[in-house]
Amino acid sequence: MRYAFLSDVHGRVAKIQAVLADARQRDAIQIVCLGDAGGDECMTLLRQAGAVTTFGNYEVSGWPRLAAENRAWVQARPPLLAGDTFLAVHAAPWWPDGLHTLEEFAAWRQQPGRGWRALFPYLTDDEDYLWQALAELETAGKAVLFHGHTHRQTVWRCGPAGRLQQVRTAFPKCRAGTVVRVQPEHRYLVGVGSVGEPEDGAWSEYTLYDQDEGWVELVRLGRTEA
């Protein structure tokens, strides 16, 4: 099973079209969108591609403005996806207790004094967040956590000895993708990057995961018009 994980499209239609075409050429069987798609045209392209999705902060704040079919599609999405060997989430695999749906997230956010980062923290802002995410992986018995939100491609690995190591953060512009082998008894936190607004270059980013062969590839495409 080969997955294409993407996130943070932010309404860039040409960029999501290019990423979806590239993922098909690379034999991705399942598209997984981790939120912040941004607008009806991008949502429709993802639906037509058979994507499964989580929701991000864009969907929490913007879902009422979507067309009816896209609004219903987003409302039915969970905050967290679980595969045989992975978890996938927009930001981090935790949020305030009692929240399960997009509408519950939106209602919670509208209360006074409640900020976005309680719903969608940046994993790379605090090493404690990385350890908490690894603990969630261990509890779930999964090998890899895929996340978006940071708009950067990153890979962190923790081995049996408990050493947390940053495996990959960047590589030269438009170079062929870097492959990280998923080793037994290790846990991985993978920032899939941003399709529409990456903070680490003027390209489009997404991530491939071959579950059977056991590798993650960070993919970057060349400059694409918005």
Q: Going from the first residue of the chain to its last (226 residues), give the mean pLDDT of each consecutive group of 10, the final group possibly shorter.
A: 97 97 97 96 96 96 93 95 98 97 96 94 94 96 97 94 80 60 95 94 93 95 63
Task: Report the number of distinct structural domains present in the chain.
Answer: 1
* CB 63, CB 36: distance < 8 Å: no
pLDDT at 177: 67
Tell me which DSSP letter residue 113 carries: T
Residue 173: per-residue pLDDT? 43
pTM: 0.94
Position 57 in a domain: yes
**Among candidates 221, 224, 191, which has minimal Cα distance to 23?**
221
Q: Which residues pair with 54 in a beta bridge?
A: none
In a domain, 8, yes or no: yes
- Does a structural domain hold residue 167? yes
Q: Tell whether 215 is covered by a domain.
A: yes
Give CA–CA dist 9/195, Å, rounded: 5
Residue 129's CATH number:
3.60.21.10
Q: Is residue 90 part of a domain?
A: yes
Whether residue 143 lies inside any domain: the answer is yes
Owning domain of residue 162: 2-221
Q: Classify residue 129: in a domain, yes or no.
A: yes
- Total residue length of the chain: 226
Residue 226 is assigned to a structural domain of this protein = no
pLDDT at position 147, please? 98
Burial of 221 (0-12, 13-18, 19+ CB in 10 A): middle
